[in-house]
Chains A and B, each alone.
Chain A
Amino acid sequence: MWELIRTNKRNSVLLMALMAMVLLALGAVIGMATVGPQGGLFGLGIAAMVWLGLTVVSLSSGDQILLAASGAKRVTHDVHPQLFNVVEEMKIAAGLPVMPKIYIINDPAPNAFATGRSPQSASIAVTAGLLARLNRDELQGVIAHEMSHILHRDILYVTLAGIMLGSVVLLSQVFMRGMFYGSMGSRRRYSSDSRGGSQAQVVLVVIAVAAAILAPIMAQLLYFALSRRREYLADAGGARLTRYPEGLASALEKIAADPSPQLAAANAVTAPMFFANPFKKRGQKGLSDWTSTHPPISERIRILRSMSQGVSYKDYANAYASVTRGKSIMPAAALADEAVQIRGTQAEPAKEPPPPKQIHDVGDIMRKVNGFSFLTCGCGLKLKIPPKFPSDTVRCPRCSRTLPIHS
């Protein structure tokens, strides 16, 4: 397992080095095109500075920005004991030193993400829709998947890679706009004045334009490759932590079948952080594997369901190979021979609520997050009392009984 993490680290570093090269090369070419042949170094410096600046900001407060942008609220044990307990169970299974911070997002689309630089300062956020739809075993699977992201330090890699992607896009955008406005005015005169070598300059500009178009695409493909690989690994880790791949598989199945609109608080750069691709498209089957942050859900489910022998990383790799026919996701040398048994279902205290109730549940979970208290009247009506309710008593609207509110 640890060897696997190390090998994986090497692959990610390689992918990120490639992205860095794309970024720096783009900077150099743009520099040469705008300033002249000697401007390459200058452009390179600018690219490096943009990249460094963005990296510093996102490493110091990236997780806070992400959580705030998605409207996530920090919750305690009282608000949703089951979620809190499941996270603690997975924290114990993963041997994490501290409890991750737990957030709930007010969104009916079932999804989840983990963020934070290191296992010591990690956060897990889930949507209210996820809590309302999944049973205990499924929730455990999702949390285990997120816990594996934390354990593998995926969040750090994905954030760093995302920043590089952002820098590439930023640079090429700025350059293209500069070209567009510059070509109308004095730009041409400057370049022809420089050394009469306008021929070479034109060639350089053409190369730079091509680079500005191609670089973001290349960076994006690299980013996607990194993200997909890590999704598979997190599935493998999640199955190993719970010893129960079926929980994760059936959670994925429910999410795939969910009709809710896509998550409001997701964009292209944050997409890889989520449990399932937040951009659901109607023709998801037609989407090429190359241009997606997540592996196809159906494939993830099939891999998990075909793990009949055990739940070690090796078993996942075998299942992966048999489902995708041949490709290998993990380096064989990194897979220790360990026998990890699948367990049976754990005791389920409460049966799943029937489907019509679930939409209410999303609202109730959010009211609880926002500090509402609940009262059940003698006539069976459930009253929802907002925080800072002015009076000590409330009258039941159905049977006009007066009920005391204990805060």
Chain B
Amino acid sequence: MPLAASLCPQAGRERSPRSARVRGGTAPEADRMAASFLFSQFMGGLTAAMFLFLIASGLSLVFGVMRVLNFAHGSFYMLGAYLAWQAVQWLQPAPERFWPAALFAALGVAALGAIVERCLLRYLYGREELYQLLFTYALVLILGDAAKFVWGTTQLSVSRPPLLAGGIAVFDTIVPVYNLFIMIVGPAIAVAGWLVLSRTGAGRMVRAASQDREMLDALGANVGGIYTGMFVVSSFLAGLSGALVTPIQSIVPGMDVEIIVQAFIVVVIGGLGSFWGTFWGSVIYGQVLSFGILIFPGFSLFSVFALMVVILVIRPWGLFGRPL
């Protein structure tokens, strides 16, 4: 089940909004119930969107700068979730152990990303994209099995950090505080990423590398270092999002191949390589999935893939990207 579907309160049951409207007795009460129902769908979609943005932002960065479509990004995300669970077990007695565990997971995955880029991936930059695709797919196979080997196939879960347990009632709907936290983290990372890319010297170098690698190289910049740095940042974001998803979703094998397709959809909608595009792509994706369930029950998955096809056919560079 896709992330958004599992976060939407009505997703599992897939019942139509009409039934919610009929049950409420008097007219004003029925309206209020319908409004609260729509609101909860909206919030579910938004939470899923912010999670997907955390994951997809790293994917989009790597594609934007290196033109590598990284299938292993989903595996990094899964590894982040497993590492966070592991760290929580190690830190058993501490009360707020979730936060150091999440940081540990993100740093661990970032280190793995550094090793992969330095030792293997950089030798493939000059080759056809087929080889790069297959290389990242090989990583999917290896990391997926490694996770199975270390952590087994049983579902694992992490409890919510005590600071963010509980929920707040909004429009008769209880919104978990943790979801609200994610809705703040997502935009915060978007703004931070945008500031770094557009206002700092390092960001200028990254933008230059994405526009003309050879020229930057000729000017004496360390392009190899920029590539490694981008890959590490992207892995860090993947690991962090994997760690942050653990309080909401159980950790299972197979979450890697499932999330990567959703992340692809998001970056394609927004525009491969466009940072804000990925943000709005996530928002659109979350809402389409969340309300698609109401309009075509059972075919919401179809609707998001159809959206991806339509965008690729009309504007292959996405809603917010520019042609390569």
> Is A bound to B?
no
Q: List the interface of chain B (C-beta within 8 A of A).
A: none
Q: List the interface of chain A (C-beta within 8 A of B).
A: none
